[in-house]
């Protein structure tokens, strides 16, 4: 799809302007021109073949003497139709043909050749097909002047613009609306094409009855052209359709396309003699069928608009005609339809049937009723001129279009205050005039009438302001900052919380990741920890991305494994992301922190330094994080058998904060990873609910501390945390710290036993403790632990 | 008689310390001269035998040799200690060229880096950072943003819908703006940015990703102009891509803004001359923006005759790709090699 500037020149004068500069101006005004192409090829001339002999060393090449005006050249040519006396297109040395093919002086099988005699397809001006290839070189008329430009002679010199339009301005894919844009930037006037024709005396309303039985049609026009002659289109129509990327069929079909490319209004031509004398437009019924002109049977739905003869479906409105009702070589009389349908129905139907065409794409957008009427008349004009048609008088119209003029009030102040520019009344008047928007100016207020061709403009002043701004040029905007209250921006609470945690994880050595939310069915419930039912997409693009994940860990573990496979052995990764599951009414959201670590935490081999990541390191990470968040002494980490199957049943901890579980960490189950890998996942949504206070400074103790060590031998099944808790309880407030400093297992203390050694710190902030009172507590602890855990004091 | 003795000791002291190389010998010498029975100590006792008129002279002479001894002793001791320390230091020498121990420090994901840079700047300009859900209502993602059902830009082809068509994976972060406006019920000015994940039905390739990141900004207040938007964009552009950047607006179209613009920066690679990165134009498009469409203000409870404002949006991946010279969007999401991540553990100016 491209715009031909030669075609545009029919409506607004552009043959005197630089096409590249013009493209730049139009682009700046918001109609984005992606590519400017010109058909002009330097070093092409019209030549006359004076002599033509067989090549001495070939059975198909000819050696020609060609007069190119300034001289006579010897050129070797292989085309079957080459002969003396004809005028041809000669590419002289230096000409560059499509495909970067440069013509040079050469020797072909020992004979010098000084150029190339061309066919249009070799110049990129015709499609290369078997037919065009077999035609051989292009023969010019005898009136062609030797030495002149053959493209000028053929009328093929043109510049085209390829557009990349915003969705609200696809009207500019059509030549008349585009001409209005050209006129606006050049401040010139648009002359719309001739729509006049002679009318027969017969009244069209006698020949066809129209009934529209649906709300989804806002305008439906019918006219009749009689006695058409189906033949080849005139060259200018063929060439212009070619530029636009539309194949030429015959004069009648081409005219319907040509008019569409002028106004943007698709037309449909029925064979009047097949259709009969009645047209009924209605919604299709579910499961109703029609065979379209591509011979496919189509199932319809109640949202498809159908054109019928009152009985038989003739056409899926705006999308595709029926098999027998269209134009054929034997068509004599044409029923012309120009209609505006509900764009949503056209869009729905064309997408559902997979039949999106130039016509349906245009009908998916709001269309102008004025252009709908002009287009049908323009088609009649062209059919009379190029298909010998006789036009039946009148037009059959169904018309529900609200034609109240759209008038928008706007003041110069409003324009300047929204654009942040300084325009004068003179500027505004000039721009409105160049746009072709009628206006009146009263009491400093412009009352601007929006032409019906600009369906994109709504009844609000901002739309007019945008039109003025884009043509005045956004380069004129002076950068300023809003004159509003000064304040500092803040993070929303949960965002700030996440940032704090993210920074802490990084300072602890974890690299941040971002992975995909969508996962496969197989992955969707992996590591699912007390969440819910996974959400499935209605129409996933890929099976492996069809569910919203329930945990981030699967993605993280995969990346850790990927790194291991790349010999990046030491891996510490984290991600913070939301997971979702189905709730009773709304969807449930949970923000998760997930982390994985494997390999060595510290490693400097030559120095014998190595700390291999283990359970106690990931536990340290969790403790560090929770303490940092102000939750010290408010959480417990306990072995759990309720964790996901991917977690080692004996090497894990559930994280309990304020009495409720918020997450877990532990070693991966050997079934999941052969490498030792440690993972954790914490719900930040739950964690943030634990409010914490400000930091309060405590003066350090001025009085000496008393430290005591002791070790208990207990059963293996006793866990250290419960013993520590009991020691603390027994120690009371003078026991300020309890640390494990040794674990020992061995024959000398008995099988299934272990020794745990603690270091206890006693202190008082108001005085020096006496040995006696410390020993009293110390002994109380020993006897208390011995009783409660069936422990014995080691080395007693 | 005592004079000879003094002279004799003086002579001894001249060379006494020259050959002493260790603390032990030095201490022995100290005892020999300054100890209880040392030569100099004993000299003191002889004062009784000195005639009265010579006592002063005698005292001065003894003091002189005592000082001589002490100076020599201190100097020698310092020399010996210096030598000992030097020997110890030399014996401790290690190969300082061996590698240091690498401390584990994590890096921020490049997407997060860009987001934080933008947040820091815009928060200093008064924008609050807010977020919203990724599973979103169609109402907030489209309907209230002037994208009614059937609007081409909300094609079911492009959006991941969930359960019927009421919910979806948000295709833009704009619904956060809607939520924020509804929350303030048309009463307060708004200045927010909302970074977040977004999803579209795109096939993943070097330049497309079904999951990507947007950051939108919304300012609703009074008498706001397109110039204010340009000034704000200019601050962002210079912060991200350097003070030398120029900015320009091109007319564009978004259903939720009117007028709408594309935001371009002068190419940081060629400074506008034209190169591969800017495709020869000298300009790079980095985001979209515009004045909030009055229809959207009204839909979200703000009276367009009293309030106006602007909204802007950036694709964070695009900014990161431009800034760090990344040419495949999948780098952000797939096969995170630690070696890739570690490149981002570095401060920037």
Q: Could you tell me if residue A368 is inside a domain? A: yes
Closest CA to B194 of B217, B210, B178, B175: B217
Q: How far is CA A584 from CA A202, A532, B140, in A?
A: 69, 11, 20
Q: Could you tell me if residue B64 is inside a domain? A: yes
Among A100-114, A500-514, A560-574, B302-316, the range scoring the smallest mean pLDDT is A100-114
Closest residue of chain A to B137, computed from CA coordinates: A586
Is the same domain home to B59 and B138? no
Q: Which residue has the higher pLDDT, A409 or B165?
A: A409
Three-state SS at B57 = helix
Is the same domain home to B125 and B272? yes
Mean pLDDT of chain B, nearest integer: 91
Is the same domain home to B211 and B84? no
Summarize pLDDT for A677-719 with one digit per residue, the tens. 999 999 999 999 999 989 999 888 899 999 999 999 999 999 8
> How many CA atoms lie less than 13 Å away from A660 in the CB half-sphere?
9
Is the same domain home to A597 and A727? no
A659: number of Cβ within 10 Å: 8
For chain B, list the strands marked E by DSSP.
128-129, 135-137, 161-162, 167-169, 190-199, 211-221, 247-254, 257-266, 283-292, 308-315
Mean pLDDT calculated for residue range A149-162: 87
Strands A547-548 and A518-519: antiparallel
Is the same domain home to A649 and A785? no
Among residues 559-598 of chain A, which lie with CB inside 8 Å of chain B?
Answer: 559, 562-563, 566, 568, 570-574, 577-578, 580, 587, 589
Q: Tell me the backbone φ, ψ of residue A293, rounded to 5 degrees.
A: -65, -10
Closest CA to A481 of B305, B288, B126, B117: B126
pLDDT of residue B254: 92
Is the same domain home to B62 and B144? no
Three-state SS at B88 = helix
- Range picked from A393-402, A603-612, B17-26 for highest mean pLDDT: A393-402
**pLDDT above 80 for A552:** yes
**pLDDT above 70 for A764:** yes
CA distance B85 to chain A (A): 26
> Residue B333 in contact with residue A575, Cβ under 8 Å?
no
> Residue A371 in contact with residue A262, Cβ under 8 Å?
no
Identify the burial level of A551 via C-beta atoms within 10 angstroms of its C-beta, where 0-12 means exposed, 13-18 middle and 19 or more buried. buried
**Which residue shows structure tokens 């407030």?**
A733
B185: number of Cβ within 10 Å: 10
Closest CA to B209 of B285, B121, B316: B316
Q: Could you tell me if residue A692 is inside a domain? A: no
> Residue B33 in contact with residue B6, Cβ under 8 Å?
no
Is the same domain home to A676 and A744? no
Q: Could you tell me if residue B215 is inside a domain? A: yes
Q: Could you tell me if residue B179 is inside a domain? A: yes
Is the same domain home to B82 and B121? no
Is the same domain home to A395 and A275? yes
> Residue A35 in contact with residue B281, Cβ under 8 Å?
no
Summarize pLDDT for A394-407 with one digit per residue, the tens. 999 999 999 999 99
Summarize pLDDT for A174-225 with one digit per residue, the tens. 999 999 999 999 999 999 999 999 999 999 999 999 999 999 999 999 999 9
Is the same domain home to A777 and A653? no
Name A347's Cβ contacts closer than 8 Å, sequence gap at least 6: A360, A364, B150, B152
Substitution target in A348, A514, A566, A678 with the highest count of B β-carbons within 10 Å is: A514
Instruction: Give dist(CA B11, CA A709) in Å, integer.
Output: 65
Alpha helix stretches (DSSP H) within A9-143: 19-28, 130-135
Instruction: Give dist(CA B322, CA B262) in Å, integer.
Output: 17
ipTM: 0.88
Range of the structural domain that residue A445 is part of: 406-476
Q: Does B326 touch chain A (CB under 8 A)?
A: no
Is the same domain home to A507 and A640? yes
Is the same domain home to A565 and A714? no
B295/A479 Cβ within 8 A = no
Q: Measured between CB atoms, which of A495, A506, A602 is closest to B101?
A: A602
Percent of chain A with pLDDT over 70: 100
Is the same domain home to B83 and B114? no
Q: What is the total count of domains within chain A? A: 6
Boundary of a domain, candidates A445, A476, A507: A476
Q: Does B174 touch chain A (CB under 8 A)?
A: no
Instruction: Give dist(CA B93, CA B86) in Å, integer.
Output: 11
Is the peptide bond preceding residue B259 cis, with omega within 30 degrees of 0? yes
Instruction: Give dist(CA A315, CA A326) in Å, integer.
Output: 9
Q: Measured between CB atoms, which of B109, B135, B162 is closest to A513?
A: B109
Name B160's Cβ contacts closer than 8 Å, sequence gap at least 6: A518, A537, A538, A539, A540, B168, B169, B171, B199, B200, B201
Range of the structural domain that residue B11 is part of: 2-91
CATH number at residue A451: 3.30.56.10
Residues of B in contact with A568 (CB under 8 A): 337-339
CATH number at residue A729: 3.30.70.380
Instruction: Give dist(CA A605, CA A610) in Å, integer.
Output: 7
Summarize pLDDT for B126-141 with one digit per residue, the tens. 999 999 999 999 999 9
Name A750's Cβ contacts closer than 8 Å, sequence gap at least 6: A713
B162/A418 Cβ within 8 A = no
Summarize pLDDT for B26-37 with one digit per residue, the tens. 999 999 998 888
**pLDDT above 90 for B280:** no
CATH number at residue A323: 3.50.40.10
Closest residue of chain A to B221, computed from CA coordinates: A484
CATH number at residue A70: 2.40.50.140
Closest residue of chain B to A607, computed from CA coordinates: B101
Residues of B in contact with A457 (CB under 8 A): none
A128: number of Cβ within 10 Å: 12
**pLDDT above 60 for A796:** no
Q: How far is CA B107 from CA A502, A507, A510, A573, A662, in A?
A: 10, 9, 7, 10, 26
Q: How far is CA B19 from CA A416, B88, B290, in A?
A: 98, 22, 92
Residues of B in contact with A545 (CB under 8 A): 210
Is the same domain home to B126 and B247? yes
Which pTM value belongs to this model?
0.84
Q: Which residue has the higher pLDDT, A644 or A120?
A: A644
Q: Could you tell me if residue B168 is inside a domain? A: yes
Structure-block tokens of residue A546: 């069809």
pLDDT of residue B156: 54
Instruction: Give dist(CA A689, CA A662) in Å, integer.
Output: 10
pLDDT of residue B1: 66
Q: Does B281 touch chain A (CB under 8 A)?
A: no
Q: Which residue has the higher pLDDT, B90 or A459?
A: B90
Mean pLDDT calculated for residue range B297-324: 95
Q: Which residues of A27-63 are buried (b: 16+ CB within 10 A; e: fewer)?
A: bbbbbbbeebeebebeebbbbbbeebeebeeeeebbb
Q: Could you tell me if residue B96 is inside a domain? A: no
pLDDT of residue A132: 81
pLDDT of residue B155: 66
Q: Does B70 touch chain A (CB under 8 A)?
A: no
Residues of B in contact with A344 (CB under 8 A): 149-150
Q: Is the Cα dihedral A336, A341, A344, A349 positive or negative?
A: negative
Q: What is the total count of domains within chain B? A: 2
> Residue A22 in contact with residue A3, Cβ under 8 Å?
no
Q: Could you tell me if residue A695 is inside a domain? A: no
Instruction: Give dist(CA A463, CA B71) in Å, integer.
Output: 99
**pLDDT above 90 for B259:** yes
A480/B258 Cβ within 8 A = no
Percent of chain B with pLDDT over 90: 66
CA distance A223 to chain B (A): 31
A470/B335 Cβ within 8 A = no
B161/A589 Cβ within 8 A = no
Summarize pLDDT for B169-187 with one digit per residue, the tens. 999 999 999 999 999 999 9
Mean pLDDT of chain A, nearest integer: 93
Is the same domain home to A205 and A354? yes
B105/A509 Cβ within 8 A = yes
> Residue A432 in contact with residue A439, Cβ under 8 Å?
yes
Is the same domain home to A240 and A274? yes
Is the same domain home to B271 and B139? yes
> Residue A466 in contact with residue B262, Cβ under 8 Å?
no
Q: Could you tell me if residue B24 is inside a domain? A: yes
Is the same domain home to B84 and B132? no
Q: Measured between CB atoms, which of B108, B165, B222 is closest to A512?
A: B108
Is the same domain home to B124 and B258? yes
pLDDT of residue B270: 87
Q: Does A285 touch chain B (CB under 8 A)?
A: no
Instruction: Give dist(CA A563, CA A677) in Å, integer.
Output: 12
The count of CB pairs under 8 A between chains A and B is: 263
**pLDDT above 80 for B214:** yes
Angle at the Cα of A655 from the Cα atoms of A650 and A660, rounded to 5 degrees: 125
Q: Does A545 touch chain B (CB under 8 A)?
A: yes
Substitution target in A477, A504, A603, A620 with the highest count of B β-carbons within 10 Å is: A477
A601/B191 Cβ within 8 A = no
Is the same domain home to A350 and A412? no
Q: Measured between CB atoms, which of A29, A420, A512 is closest to B251?
A: A29
Q: Does B97 touch chain A (CB under 8 A)?
A: no
> Residue A160 in contact with residue A4, Cβ under 8 Å?
yes
Q: Could you tell me if residue B102 is inside a domain? A: no
Instruction: Give dist(CA A408, CA A451) in Å, integer.
Output: 11
Identify the burial level of A699 via C-beta atoms within 10 angstroms of its C-beta, where 0-12 means exposed, 13-18 middle and 19 or more buried. exposed
> How many CA atoms lie less than 13 Å away from A415 in the CB half-sphere?
28
Q: Does A134 touch chain B (CB under 8 A)?
A: no
Instruction: Give dist(CA B41, CA B47) in Å, integer.
Output: 11
Residues of B in contact with A28 (CB under 8 A): 250-251
**pLDDT above 70 for B349:** no
Strands A647-657 and A635-638: antiparallel
CA distance A500 to chain B (A): 12
Q: Could you tell me if residue A693 is inside a domain? A: no
Is the same domain home to A642 and A568? yes
> Residue B93 in contact with residue B188, Cβ under 8 Å?
no
Summarize pLDDT for B44-65 with one digit per residue, the tens. 888 888 888 888 888 888 888 8
pLDDT of residue A566: 92
**pLDDT above 90 for A279:** yes
Q: Measured between CB atoms, which of A417, A460, A578 is closest to B294?
A: A460
Mean pLDDT calculated for residue range B193-220: 95
Three-state SS at B231 = helix
pLDDT of residue A97: 86
Identify the burial level of A111 via C-beta atoms within 10 angstroms of its C-beta, where 0-12 means exposed, 13-18 middle and 19 or more buried. middle
Strands A390-393 and A199-203: parallel
Instruction: Give dist(CA A186, CA A433) in Å, integer.
Output: 12
Q: Could you tell me if residue B173 is inside a domain? A: yes
Q: Could you tell me if residue A365 is inside a domain? A: yes
B162/A535 Cβ within 8 A = yes
Is the same domain home to B64 and B120? no
For A251-304, list the strands marked E by DSSP.
267-271, 278-283, 289-291, 297-299
A466/B122 Cβ within 8 A = no
Q: Does B120 touch chain A (CB under 8 A)?
A: no
**pLDDT above 80 for A127:** no
B291/A462 Cβ within 8 A = yes
Boundary of a domain, candidates B39, B64, B91: B91
A481/B231 Cβ within 8 A = yes
Substitution target in A184, A489, A494 with the highest count of B β-carbons within 10 Å is: A489
Q: Measured between CB atoms, which of A418, A488, A514 is closest to B126?
A: A488
Q: Could you tell me if residue A696 is inside a domain? A: no
Is the same domain home to B137 and B285? yes
Instruction: Give dist(CA A793, CA B310) in Å, integer.
Output: 74
Q: Could you tell me if residue A191 is inside a domain? A: no
Closest CA to A761 of A721, A740, A734: A734
Instruction: Give dist(CA A231, CA A247) in Å, integer.
Output: 15
Among residues 203-242 of chain B, which lie with CB inside 8 Å of chain A?
Answer: 203, 210-211, 213, 219, 221-228, 230-235
Residues of A in contact with B101 (CB under 8 A): 602-604, 607, 609
Is the same domain home to A497 and A424? no
Q: Could you tell me if residue A701 is inside a domain? A: no
């Amino acid at each position: 799809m491209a715009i031909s500037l030669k075609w545009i020149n029919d409506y607004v004068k552009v043959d005197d302007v630089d096409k590249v500069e013009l493209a730049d101006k139009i682009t700046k005004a918001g109609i984005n021109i992606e590519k400017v192409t010109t058909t002009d090829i330097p070093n092409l001339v019209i030549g006359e073949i004076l002599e033509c002999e067989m090549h001495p060393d070939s059975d198909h090449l000819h050696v020609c003497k060609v007069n190119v005006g300034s001289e006579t050249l010897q050129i070797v040519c292989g085309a079957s139709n080459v002969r003396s006396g004809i005028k041809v297109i000669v590419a002289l040395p230096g000409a560059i043909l499509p495909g970067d093919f440069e013509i040079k002086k050469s020797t072909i099988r020992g004979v010098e050749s000084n150029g190339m005699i061309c066919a249009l397809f070799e110049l990129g001006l015709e499609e290369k097909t078997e037919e065009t290839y077999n035609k051989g070189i292009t023969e010019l008329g005898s009136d062609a002047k030797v030495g002149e430009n053959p493209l000028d002679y053929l009328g093929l010199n043109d510049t085209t613009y390829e557009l990349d339009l915003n969705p609200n301005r696809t009207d500019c894919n059509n030549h008349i609306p585009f001409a209005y844009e050209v006129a606006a930037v050049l401040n010139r006037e648009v002359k719309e094409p001739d729509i006049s024709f002679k009318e027969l005396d017969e009244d069209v309303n006698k020949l066809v009855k129209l009934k529209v039985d649906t709300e989804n049609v806002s305008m439906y026009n019918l006219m009749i052209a009689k006695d058409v002659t189906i033949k080849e289109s005139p060259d200018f129509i063929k060439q212009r359709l070619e530029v636009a990327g539309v194949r030429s069929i015959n004069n009648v079909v081409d005219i319907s396309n040509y008019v569409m490319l002028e106004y943007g209004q698709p037309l449909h031509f029925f064979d009047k003699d097949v259709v009969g004398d009645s047209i009924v437009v209605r919604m299709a019924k579910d499961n109703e069928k029609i065979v379209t002109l591509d011979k496919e049977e189509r199932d319809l739905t109640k949202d498809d608009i159908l054109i019928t003869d009152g009985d038989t479906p003739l056409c899926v409105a705006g999308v595709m005609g029926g098999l027998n009702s269209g134009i054929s070589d034997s068509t004599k009389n044409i029923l012309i339809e120009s209609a505006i349908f509900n764009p949503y129905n056209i869009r729905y139907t064309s997408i559902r049937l997979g039949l999106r065409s130039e016509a349906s794409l245009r009908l998916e957008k709001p269309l102008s009723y004025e252009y709908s009427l002009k287009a049908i008349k323009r088609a009649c004009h062209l059919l009379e001129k190029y298909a010998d048609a006789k036009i039946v008088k009148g037009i059959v119209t169904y018309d529900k279009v609200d034609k109240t003029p759209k008038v928008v009030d706007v003041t110069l102040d409003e324009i300047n205050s929204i654009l942040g520019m300084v325009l004068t009344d003179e500027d505004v008047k000039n721009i409105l005039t160049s746009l072709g928007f009628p206006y009146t100016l009263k009491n400093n207020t412009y009352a601007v009438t929006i032409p019906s061709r600009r369906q994109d403009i709504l009844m609000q002043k901002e739309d007019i302001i945008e039109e003025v701004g884009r043509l005045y040029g956004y380069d004129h905007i002076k950068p300023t900052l809003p004159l509003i209250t000064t304040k500092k921006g803040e993070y929303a609470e949960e965002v700030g919380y996440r940032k704090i945690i993210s920074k802490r994880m990084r300072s602890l050595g974890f690299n941040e990741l971002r992975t995909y939310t969508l996962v496969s069915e197989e992955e969707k419930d992996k590591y699912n920890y007390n969440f819910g039912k996974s959400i499935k997409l209605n129409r996933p693009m890929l099976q492996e991305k069809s569910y919203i994940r329930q945990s981030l860990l699967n993605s993280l573990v995969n990346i850790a494994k990927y790194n291991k496979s790349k010999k990046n052995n030491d891996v510490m990764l984290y991600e913070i992301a939301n997971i979702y599951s189905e709730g009773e009414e709304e969807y449930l959201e949970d923000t998760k922190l997930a982390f994985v670590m494997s390999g060595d935490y510290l490693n400097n081999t030559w120095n014998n330094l190595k700390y291999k990541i283990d359970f106690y390191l990931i536990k340290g990470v969790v403790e560090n994080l929770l303490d940092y968040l102000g939750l010290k002494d408010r959480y417990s980490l306990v072995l759990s058998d309720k964790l996901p199957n991917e977690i080692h049943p004996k090497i894990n901890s559930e994280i309990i904060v304020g009495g409720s579980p918020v997450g877990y960490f532990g070693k991966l189950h050997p079934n999941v990873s052969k490498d030792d890998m440690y993972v954790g996942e914490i719900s930040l949504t739950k964690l943030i609910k634990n409010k914490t206070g400000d930091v309060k400074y405590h003066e350090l103790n001025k009085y000496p501390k008393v430290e005591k060590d002791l070790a208990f031998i207990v059963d293996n099944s006793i866990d250290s945390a419960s013993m520590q808790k009991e020691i603390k309880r027994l120690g009371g407030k003078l026991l300020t710290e309890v640390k494990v400093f040794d674990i020992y297992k061995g024959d000398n203390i008995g099988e299934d036993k272990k020794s745990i050694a603690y270091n206890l710190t006693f202190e008082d902030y108001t005085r020096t403790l006496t040995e006696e009172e410390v020993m009293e507590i110390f002994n109380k602890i020993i006897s208390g632990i011995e009783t409660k855990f069936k422990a014995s004091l080691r080395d007693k | 008689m005592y004079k000879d003795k003094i002279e004799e000791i003086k002579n001894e002291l001249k060379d006494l310390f020259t050959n002493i190389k260790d603390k032990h010998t030095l201490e022995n010498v100290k005892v020999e001269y300054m100890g209880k029975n040392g030569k100099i100590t004993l000299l003191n006792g002889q004062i009784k035998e000195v005639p009265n008129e010579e006592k002063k002279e005698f005292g001065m002479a003894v003091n002189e040799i005592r000082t001589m001894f002490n100076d020599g002793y201190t100097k020698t001791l310092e020399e010996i200690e210096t030598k000992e320390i030097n020997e110890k230091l030399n014996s401790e020498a290690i190969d300082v060229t061996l590698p240091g121990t690498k401390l584990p420090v994590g890096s921020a994901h490049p997407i997060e880096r860009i987001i934080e840079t933008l947040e820091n700047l815009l928060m200093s300009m008064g924008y609050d950072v807010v977020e919203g859900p990724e599973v979103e209502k169609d109402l907030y993602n489209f309907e209230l943003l002037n994208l009614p059902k059937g609007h081409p830009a909300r094609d079911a082809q492009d959006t991941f819908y969930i359960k019927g068509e009421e919910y979806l994976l948000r295709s833009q972060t704009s619904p956060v703006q809607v939520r924020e406006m509804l929350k303030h019920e048309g009463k307060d000015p708004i200045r927010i940015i909302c970074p977040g994940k977004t999803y579209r039905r795109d096939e993943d390739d070097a330049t497309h990703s079904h999951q990507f990141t947007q950051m939108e900004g919304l300012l609703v207040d009074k008498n706001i102009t397109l110039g204010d938007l340009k000034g704000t964009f200019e601050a962002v552009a210079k912060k991200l891509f350097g003070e030398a950047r120029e900015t320009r607006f091109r007319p564009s179209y978004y259903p939720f803004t009117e007028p709408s613009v594309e935001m371009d920066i002068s190419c940081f690679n060629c400074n506008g001359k034209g190169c591969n990165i800017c495709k020869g134009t000298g300009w790079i498009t980095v985001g979209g923006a515009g004045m909030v469409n009055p229809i959207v203000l009204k839909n979200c409870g703000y009276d367009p005759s009293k309030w106006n404002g602007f909204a802007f949006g950036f694709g964070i991946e695009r900014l990161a790709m431009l800034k760090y010279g990344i040419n495949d969007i999948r780098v952000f999401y797939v096969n995170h090699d630690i070696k890739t991540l570690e490149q981002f553990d570095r401060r920037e100016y």
